[in-house]
Amino acid sequence: MFKAQALEKYKDKIVVQEYVDADDGVWININDSDLHAIKIPIPEPPDWEKIDGFGLKAKDQKFQRESYPAKLKMLEADVHDVVVRDRSLKNDMARNRAFFDKIYDELYKQKIKYRDIITWIKKQWAYRLYGKWIFVNGKPVYLDGWHWFYLNYWHLEEVGLPDYWDRDMKWFHAQRYAFTTTLAPQTDKDGNLMYLPDNSLLMFDVGQRVFFGTNNIKGRRVGDTSKTQDIMYEIISSEIEVKGGIQGDDDDTGRKVFQEKLILAYRKMPFFFVPRTNGEINPATHLSFDLPYYKDSLQSAIDYATTSKRNYYDSKKLRVYEGTEVGKTLREDVHRRHAVVRRCCGSSGGRIFGFMMYDSTVDQIELISGRQFLELTKASHWEQRNANGMTSSGLMNVFFPSWEGAEGFIGPYGESVIEDPTEEQLKSMYNIRRNKNGKPLGAKEFFENERRDLIEKGDLEGLAEHKRLHPFNLREAFTPPAKNTFFNMQILEETIAYLDFNEDKEIRRGNYIWKVYLREVEFIDDQEGRWLVSKQLPKDKGNKMVNIGGVMWPEFPDTYVASADCYRLEKTDGGIMSKGGGAVRWKHDPVLDPPTKELGEYVSERLVCTYSNRPATLDEYCDDMLKMCVYWGSLMYPEMNIDLVAKYFIDKGFKGYLMYDTDPATGRKKENPGFHMVGPNIKPKMFGLIADDIQKHGRRCKHRDYFMECASIRNMDETTKYDLFTAVGGTLLAEQSHYSEMVNRINSMTIDVSGFWGEYA
Amino acid sequence: MKFNKSDFDNMSYPVLSIPEDKTVLDRFPGLKIYREFQQDFARDTDKIHKYVILMYTSNILQSLQSLEERKIEAAKLAGFKMSHSRFDDKVEEILACRVPEINSLIIRVCCLERNEDLAELLIYEESYYRELKKLLDGESDKVKETRNNVRQFKEDIKELRKSLLNQDENKDLISKLYDYVEGIQLGISPEEIALAKKSNTIEDLIPNPSV
């Protein structure tokens, strides 16, 4: 029913004029540059008279819990007394079973007497199955059945029954949508999404469910784990022969969720929502809805995994799966476990019968699982579907900014108090905070103030953590840890986040291989490759070298410069073998980027190639460095604490590719190539150059691996742990040198210069 | 025709006042939730709905003493044509309660109309069998009294059944009624809900209150 119809039908009720039409859909993932907004359709409201709260003034229309009939309470108490007095029942399990037998028997035998009770219970089932319409502040709002069940019957630890929150209403609709939808976005012939006037997408029906479930990226303490348990119980306790499973980030989290959330709520559940069990009141390992002597027993169950490993549920059929704190998973590959669980929830023919719900904060993005959770998130973008209408992961991202549903910032109608609270909202907020001017704060300003405080204290690590735990947008949920004060962390974080969420076709992973040994190198794409490159050379521009007296020289040494930081075979870092670093930098090109050009529009003066790897042998590493220099035609300026790279180049006849420092006074080159990371000046100089480069050109950097090292390094003594960082620093040091100009001059001479350069050859 | 259409306006489902271009289900969409009303009887569907409602709900047709006469009148009002004082064979089968699917529809209409009779019938049936069991098991101290109880319950049940079926005591129909009664459970336990979900009859057991 719409307002126009209601005004016509209920002419005598003036209060109806205050009411407004229901929304025709619920929007989630809105106002986030990395998420496509989703409009979840809502059914048309019934006759307003059938909606809870009809006839009340709008201001008095709030969510009301179901009123448990006194007659039913009395019946339960009577049956309980009979059971307790029955001495033939020897223990709690027997008494519990007898309670169920007797109360159903009583209701069945006295159908007439308890007709009102039976009708009321049926109504509870109806709301649980189909949801319920309620009026909230003058507007019809549709509560999904899972949400209604949560609000009325799902007890929370130290809270009791939850309050109605607008955020939860949307969250539950998102879950139901993922559980049921068979729709995928329609695209035009060019593959573009097609929009309807309300900015939602034109969809088409795939004919089968398209999502295995949801990927819920959340802030702290928003109750998503309890809500997923509510859904798990609702499904498993009303279906025959189905299984639900809970798996955590380690070997104990599943148990905690099971005992502290599921069993807590289960024990408070009214009898008519509890399937028959063996009577165990406080199950420790699994909740089994199976009673052998009862012929209609569901034979369904919920358990938890005692390990984070993928094999726990392997080959089992799961109707519901909760993967809690996925982004913190220890000792397991998130992707591989996801693949296993996906098989548990679907058939090989593509039919989806299970429902998966992941939820996680990303406390420790530096963990491998944090990165994997990010990749899973990127594979779960709702609008990015394959030819079968599914996302790559089979999941759908669900994200709410931290100011939605922030504890203490909830208004009288369950609305999130994001901006300045109104007087009416203040009355229902229990966490009223005011700024120094006495103005009460909304959630957004509160979180912003917390961040400002961290910035003022210089606690960048705390700031990064705050962003991950209370993200304002999806990107912030994956904020890398800020661990130093050398560099502009904002540029680093924002650029890393940008690279995480935006595909750049220039960025490719692969390997350089010898096409002609010691003469020509080519780049081959390989997802497991050793190099990350952000530029490809045209065929006629790569591998440019000249042979002068049997020594190879780069033909155009002034365009790119390379550096390498070799590793020691025996060196370990906290049990992890260190890696060899390598980098190539595109030097400033004054023709392409004249001084009149804005820095942000520069194309040169940036990294184009990074390498962080530990091949089986040092020779292999040195050969990798040589191939890199041959391809780019760059001079190599290696870190020389370990001089193997220089030796290898000389040994292979590529001494001309090595770069030497020159004496500023005499202009004479030094005896050895490269640089040493020892002495009081070199590290501050390198850190200064890197800081300056990040400030000027950081936002154009396409090498996430390098920026992650920049963000992670805590002090100057840690450079040995960050080989790529040192290698890139080496390219910046090298860019200062005029050595390449000297090489250029020699290359352009037409005379045989082998005598002049002979000492180097 | 002995009756005017307006004579039927006070029925719980006044099917004779439905415009010609509308069907019973258009006019009373709430009936769609029952699977008996979802059955398709081709082009006779609407006539059958009308016939069953006219014949088995309270209305002026009950003033006709003869059951056969009532059935004929209801069928004619529903739109079935007679030829040489006979209906088509298919219609005759319906009137004789020999079509199981239509008998299910009749039971559904009866139960919708007389829910209280149905509840009472359930209780009486159970009480009847309890008393009968006492006699068989020899548990009763007062045999004569128990026998009287059994007799009385039997009579009462017969009366209730007649009332419930709008005086139609057709054997097939009674048999269908008992099929239905036996199938009735409380419908409130998770196990009953799960079964109904599995057999796709959940909306019969628990109708959606918003529809």
Instruction: Report pLDDT for A589.
Output: 93
The H-or-E segment that residue A141 falls in is strand A139-143
Contacts with A129 from chain B: Cβ below 8 Å: 193, 202, 206, 208
Instruction: Report pLDDT for B140.
Output: 62
Instruction: Report pLDDT for A501.
Output: 82
Average pLDDT for A737-749: 73
Closest CB from B123, B186, B194 relative to A118 = B186
Average pLDDT for A473-479: 86
The residue to which tokens 């184009």 are assigned: A608
Chain B interface test: which of A123, A125, A132, A287 (most B C-beta within 10 Å): A125
Q: Do B122 and A115 touch (CB under 8 A)?
A: no
Q: Do B197 and A238 touch (CB under 8 A)?
A: yes
Chain A interface test: which of B191, B200, B201 (most A C-beta within 10 Å): B191
Closest CB from B123, B185, B206 relative to A125 = B206
**Alpha carbons A594 and A602: distance in angstroms, whole number:** 9
B194/chain A closest Cα distance in angstroms: 5
Band of pLDDT at residue A674, cut at 50, 70 and 90: very high
Instruction: Report pLDDT for A392.
Output: 93
Q: Do B198 and A239 touch (CB under 8 A)?
A: yes
A713: which residues sit within 8 A by CB, 6+ positions away?
A: A483, A484, A486, A719, A721, A722, A725
Contact between A46 and B211 under an 8 Å Cβ cutoff? The reply is: yes
Q: Do B186 and A133 touch (CB under 8 A)?
A: no
| Residue A521 confidence (pLDDT) above 80 | yes
Average pLDDT for A43-72: 93
Question: Which residues on neighbouring strands pair with residue A641, listed in sequence order?
Answer: none
Band of pLDDT at residue A103, cut at 50, 70 and 90: very high
Instruction: Report pLDDT for B56.
Output: 86
Contacts with B198 from chain A: Cβ below 8 Å: 239-240
Contact between A337 and A314 under an 8 Å Cβ cutoff? The reply is: no
3-class DSSP assignment, residue A561: strand
Average pLDDT, chain A: 89
A252/chain B closest Cα distance in angstroms: 30
Chain B interface test: which of A1, A111, A142, A237 (most B C-beta within 10 Å): A111
| Residue A2 confidence (pLDDT) above 70 | yes
Contacts with B188 from chain A: Cβ below 8 Å: 107, 118, 121-122, 125, 272
How far does chain B reach from its first CA to its final CA, in angstroms? 37
The least confident of A273-277, A631-635, B68-72 is B68-72
Band of pLDDT at residue B126, cut at 50, 70 and 90: low
| Residue A746 confidence (pLDDT) above 80 | no
Tens digits of residue pLDDT in A588-640: 999 999 989 998 899 999 999 999 999 989 999 999 999 999 999 999 999 99
* CB burial readout A508-526, b (16+ within 10 A) else e: bebbbeeeeeeeebbbeee
Closest CB from B186, B190, B208 relative to A108 = B186
Closest CB from B122, B206, B210 relative to A122 = B206
Band of pLDDT at residue A112, cut at 50, 70 and 90: low
**Percent of chain A residues topping a pLDDT of 70:** 95
Tens digits of residue pLDDT in B76-85: 999 999 988 8
| Residue A727 confidence (pLDDT) above 50 | yes
Closest CB from A50, A125, A238 relative to B210 = A50
Instruction: Report pLDDT for B130.
Output: 66
| Residue A310 confidence (pLDDT) above 60 | yes
**Percent of chain A residues topping a pLDDT of 90:** 56
Q: Do A111 and B211 touch (CB under 8 A)?
A: no
| Residue A576 confidence (pLDDT) above 60 | no
The least confident of A104-113, A322-331, A567-576, B174-183 is A567-576
Amino acid at B124: Y
Instruction: Report pLDDT for A724.
Output: 93
**Alpha carbons B57 and A127: distance in angstroms, whole number:** 31
The H-or-E segment that residue A39 falls in is strand A38-41
Number of A/B CB contacts below 8 angstroms equals 80
| Residue A664 confidence (pLDDT) above 80 | no
Closest CB from A126, A132, A237 relative to B207 = A126
Task: State whether ipTM is beyond 0.85.
Answer: no
Contacts with B193 from chain A: Cβ below 8 Å: 125, 129, 238
Tens digits of residue pLDDT in B75-122: 999 999 998 889 999 999 998 888 888 888 888 888 787 767 766 776
* CB burial readout A215-248, b (16+ within 10 A) else e: bbbbbeebbbbbbbbbbbbbbbbbbbebbbbbbb
Closest CB from A111, A121, A238 relative to B122 = A111
Listed ranges A363-377, A378-392, A674-688; the one with the highest mean pLDDT = A378-392
A409/chain B closest Cα distance in angstroms: 32
A200/chain B closest Cα distance in angstroms: 26
Q: Per-residue DSSP letters for A189-258?
A: TTS-B-B-TTSPBPEEE-SS---SEEEEE--SSS-HHHHHHHHHHHHHTTSSS-EEEEE-SSSSHHHHHI
Contacts with B195 from chain A: Cβ below 8 Å: 240, 296
Band of pLDDT at residue A163, cut at 50, 70 and 90: very high
Q: Do A107 and B191 touch (CB under 8 A)?
A: no
Contacts with B185 from chain A: Cβ below 8 Å: 108
Tens digits of residue pLDDT in B5-58: 888 888 889 999 999 899 999 999 888 877 788 888 988 999 999 999 998 888
Band of pLDDT at residue A760, cut at 50, 70 and 90: very low
Instruction: Report pLDDT for B181.
Output: 65
Which residues of A touch chain B, with CB atoms under 8 Å apart? 43, 45-46, 50, 104, 107-109, 111-112, 115, 118, 121-123, 125-127, 129-133, 237-240, 272-276, 289, 294, 296-298, 300
Average pLDDT for A700-708: 93
Which token pair is A216?
């819920």
Angle B115-137/B143-164 helices, nearest 10 degrees? 150
Q: Do B191 and A118 touch (CB under 8 A)?
A: no
Instruction: Report pLDDT for B107.
Output: 80
Tens digits of residue pLDDT in A496-510: 888 888 888 899 999
Of residues A644, A637, A654, the one with CA closest to residue A726:
A637
Average pLDDT, chain B: 82
A253: which residues sit within 8 A by CB, 6+ positions away?
A: A308, A324, A325
Instruction: Report pLDDT for A364.
Output: 67
Instruction: Report pLDDT for A573.
Output: 47
**Alpha carbons A161 and A173: distance in angstroms, whole number:** 20
The residue to which tokens 């040494």 are assigned: A557
| Residue A480 confidence (pLDDT) above 80 | no
**Alpha carbons A733 and A743: distance in angstroms, whole number:** 17
Contacts with A133 from chain B: Cβ below 8 Å: 210
Instruction: Report pLDDT for B137.
Output: 66
**Alpha carbons A94 and A256: distance in angstroms, whole number:** 27
The least confident of A17-26, A362-371, A470-479, B164-173 is A362-371
Q: Do B186 and A126 touch (CB under 8 A)?
A: no
Find, in chain A, the residue whose alpha carbon is nearest to that of B122: A111
